[in-house]
Amino acid sequence: MLRGFYTAASGMITQQRQTEALSNNIANANTPGYKADQTTIRAFPELLLSEMGSEKTIPTTQGGLNLPVQNTVGSINTGAYVQETVPNFKQGDVRETNISTDLAIINGTIPDESGFLFFNVQNEAGEVRYTRNGNFTVDGEGFLVTNQGYYVLDQAGNPIQTDGMEFTVTPEGTLQTMDQATQLGISYMENVNDLTKEGNDIFAGEADAIPAGTTFSIQQGTLEQSNVNTMQTMTDMMSSYRLFETNQRVLRAYDESLGKAVSEIGRIG
């Protein structure tokens, strides 16, 4: 009975964490460049149940012998858990904003299907990070920055200075002002599952060399939207909630059975 109690409880915890991830996706459905989180659910290792007994041998002049035997009953599952949460890096729709500081990476040909391209930014600790959120702005010192105040980097790893001037960005990623031309820093990740999500559409990891044959373009005045499918996410949330309720009812049934075992069976004894 106690095994079933813990199995139902693990199912409730799993669905709660699933719902939390889905709720976060819904909350970021309108966040530019946001990549929806997907949870992977696994079962705990199964247990093999066996029946222990004894079997009497053929009687002899010395009498029969009782030999231990073991009969396999079958396997039993011990519950489920959320193994990890993995972002879905499918490119979102691109929306036109007509704001010159808004930029979007448009994926072209990427030889490795698991690879992805990112803007290079610098956090407050001076470390290079990566984002698909091109909702940039120009700060008071003329630097191109993210909404969090992170510097947008050029290909050499330096903050991009606009001097407060109007600028244009070519499809090849060259930011041009009246005085200079700067190549935007674009990095490639061969395996996006190795990235660590730090929040605010920022990822940490080690960039790889852009493979030959990779093509992309930069569109100014546009933003890549969140890739959250709102309708599907709402459906998944309802399903997760129903599963939580089901495990809750099972847990309540076990609790009532334990209560009877304590109050009634114990009294009879």
**For the chain, percent of residues with pLDDT exceeding 90:** 52
The range of the structural domain enclosing residue 163 comes to 94-224
Are residues 79 and 115 located together in one domain of the fold? no
Tell me if 60 is assigned to some domain: no
Nearest-angstrom CA–CA distance, 84 and 105:
28
Are residues 47 and 29 located together in one domain of the fold? yes
Are residues 142 and 190 located together in one domain of the fold? yes
Least confident interval from 12-26, 56-70, 133-147, 219-233 = 56-70
At 123, is the pLDDT very low, low, confident or very high (cuts 50, 70, 90)? very high
- Predicted local distance difference test score (pLDDT) of residue 81: 76
Task: Show the tokens assigned to 237.
Answer: 């949330």
For 40, phi then psi, to 5°, come to: -110, 125
- Predicted local distance difference test score (pLDDT) of residue 49: 63
Q: What is the mean pLDDT of the chain?
A: 86
Taking 60 as the threshold, does the pLDDT of residue 156 lie above it? Answer: yes
Are residues 234 and 255 located together in one domain of the fold? yes
Are residues 193 and 256 located together in one domain of the fold? no
Instruction: Give the residue-averaged pLDDT of 239-259.
Output: 86
Are residues 116 and 194 located together in one domain of the fold? yes
Q: What angle do CA 58, 62, 65 make, to 5 degrees?
A: 45
Tell me if 58 is assigned to some domain: no
Q: What is the pLDDT of residues 27-58, one digit of tens each?
A: 999 999 999 999 888 777 666 666 676 666 65
Tell me if 31 sits within 8 A of 87, measured CB to CB: no
Are residues 104 and 204 located together in one domain of the fold? yes
Are residues 29 and 134 located together in one domain of the fold? no
Instruction: Give the residue-averaged pLDDT of 209-228.
Output: 93
At 118, is the pLDDT very low, low, confident or very high (cuts 50, 70, 90)? very high
β-strand partners of 151: 122, 145
Least confident interval from 66-80, 92-106, 110-124 = 66-80
Into how many domains does the chain fold? 2
Taking the CA atoms of the chain, what radius of gyration do you get in angstroms?
29
- Predicted local distance difference test score (pLDDT) of residue 183: 95
- Predicted local distance difference test score (pLDDT) of residue 57: 60
**For residue 103, with 0-12 CB atoms within 10 Å meaning exposed, 13-18 middle and 19 or more buried, which class applies?**
buried
CA distances from 41 to 13, 79, 143, 236 (A): 11, 11, 43, 14
Nearest-angstrom CA–CA distance, 206 and 208:
7
- Backbone φ/ψ region at 68: left (φ over 0), alpha (ψ -120 to 50), beta: beta
Those residues whose C-beta lies under 8 Å from the C-beta of residue 116, and which sit 6 or more positions away, are 89, 107, 110, 188, 189, 192
Residue entry with tokens 């990890």: 84
Are residues 217 and 100 located together in one domain of the fold? yes
Write down which residue in 224, 239, 256 finishes a domain: 224
Tell me if 66 is assigned to some domain: no
Tell me if 160 is assigned to some domain: yes
Tell me if 184 sits within 8 A of 155, measured CB to CB: yes
At 255, is the pLDDT very low, low, confident or very high (cuts 50, 70, 90)? confident
Instruction: Give the residue-averaged pLDDT of 61-82.
Output: 69
- Predicted local distance difference test score (pLDDT) of residue 193: 85
Nearest-angstrom CA–CA distance, 187 and 197:
16
β-strand partners of 145: 137, 151
Closest C-alpha to 208, from 189, 186, 193: 189
- Predicted local distance difference test score (pLDDT) of residue 188: 94
- Beta-carbon count within 10 A of 60 CB: 8
- Predicted local distance difference test score (pLDDT) of residue 101: 95
Q: What is the pLDDT of residues 165-207, one digit of tens each?
A: 899 999 999 999 988 899 999 999 988 888 988 888 899 999 9
Closest C-alpha to 95, from 140, 134, 58: 134
Nearest-angstrom CA–CA distance, 252 and 244:
12
Are residues 158 and 98 located together in one domain of the fold? yes
Least confident interval from 129-133, 159-163, 167-171, 190-194 = 190-194
At 74, is the pLDDT very low, low, confident or very high (cuts 50, 70, 90)? low
Least confident interval from 69-78, 170-179, 211-220, 249-258 = 69-78
Are residues 105 and 220 located together in one domain of the fold? yes
Q: What angle do CA 234, 84, 202 make, to 5 degrees?
A: 80
Are residues 210 and 242 located together in one domain of the fold? no
